[in-house]
Chains A and B, each alone.
Chain A
Amino acid sequence: MNREESALTRRQWLLSLGGGVALAGWSGMDLEAASQASSAALPPGIYEASREHLGHALADRGGFARLPADSEIEIVRPRSGRFQPAFFTQTQYPVIRRLVGLLLGEPEAAVIVDEIAEWIDLTASDSAAVRAAAHALSPAHHTLAVHYYGAQAVRRLEEFDPQKTSREGLAWLDTQSQERHSRTFAALDEPAQIAILDSISDNRPDVKTENTGTRFFHYMKERVIHGFYTSRAGLDELGYRGNAFYASPPGCEHLYA
């Protein structure tokens, strides 16, 4: 044994424990190789965006970081030119946009209305694939999903069909509008549209009675809540300032005096 070797300190041993990982080819690789390695398909499971990311969105006042063009993150679907809905038809989509505006009490032109309506179209168009993925879980992953999210949430993923709910709901709105005013929902003025929404909202007098309209309202409101309160505009409205901590515990100042 030579002198250098015998003089190994604890620190050097600890460092070489870390070095062992590099030797195995994990940390020494170049970026290109790393991106190839990470392009492998995700393991089966049910994925949910983390709410912790909200803080980052807010902290970055200079605007959101640009995501790579082929990113799989929901909201980002790069496009040039006018938005083309992937699920809703050219006549349905303006009604979805209108409903988002009414549910938020925002004017037609508000950017947030576009953001949320586009996201609803995206999730509706992806929903069949999400359902198929939920059905295709292996028994082990299914068990795990039930333990993580609860049986009810997993069943909803397997069964709930936003496309059907929307298609039937939009048709229902038109039938009601025709019955009441001999016009399509889109052609009604705002008070008439709101009156129809009032009759199916969760504030309606007969909350217990459900129909195609109330189910559609429930779906749209749930989407709008998620869309709005995770957006910059919604988080600002809530006064949310991102992940933060108290420098000293309020109410316990004497501890630090």
Chain B
Amino acid sequence: MESAKKSVLAARRQFLLDAARMAGGVGMLGLGVGLYAKQAKALPPAAIRPPGAGTEQDFLGACIRCGMCVRDCPYNILFLAKPEQPIATGTPYFVARSGPCEMCEDIPCVKACPTGALDHKLKDIAKSKMGLAVLIDKETCLNFLGLRCDVCYRVCPLIDKAITLDLRHNERTGRHTVFEPVVHSDQCTGCGKCEKACVLEVAAIKVYPVKLAKGELGQHYRIGWEEKQKAGGSLVAPDAEHKYNLPEGMHYESGKGLSSGPAPTPGAGVDSLQGVVPNPGRNAAPAGNMPQNIPGGGLSSRMTDDAPR
């Protein structure tokens, strides 16, 4: 009886010991893999996910690393990450500089994805958000240097929407125009054609995962003119019109000072602020040295704050 009890106790002890050993060993393994997995969540800037991929966190849970998207991409731009790469092993990516997404109209990569890691709700490739192009080096970009390279702008599948040329005065020469390529995040798909096409040794415009490239306003920020447009009118009481309180029959003109006589027509004088914003009708056209047929929508649409972006 006694010995039987003892052996039961010994067996129980052994069982508990084995279980503890197993839990310990497997726990260590789990810790190792878990920490590694945490590291592997950081996507390097040069690796862009195929169209339709959600946030990196979601993608790493949804993508089963099957490579169907890789197979069905007609341009063979997609690759599955190898273990030595700093991208989660087996997940698809492309590198814009060597092979950008050609923005297929039928999006075969998304259709091929069996899990929906590439979201099947994406039907219009122009709505995809693979990344965001950033003109990151203004010191080497030829357009910033005052030349008319424009290559990134011209290759963009969403020319004049995702990327525009914004004009400003060339301070260096004093008499030319700088055609600054400007990317608009609400339109840019991150296809990377601009980065691929950039003529420099190292591209001055690069595509990054949106999370890296995009800033974010504080939640409480409101942009005045947008609110104004939404509301269909000014949200604050309009400023009282500026008025000089001068003796009757007198008026004031800058440079000339006080004088008597009738007031000048409104808008021509300095006491109206309208003329301060350069206005194509007054500044560009009579000067005659500004190109009239500017790709990118032309000057007039860009010179006011109301220009569509």
Binding partners A and B: no
Which of B's residues lie within 8 Å of A, judged by CB?
A: none
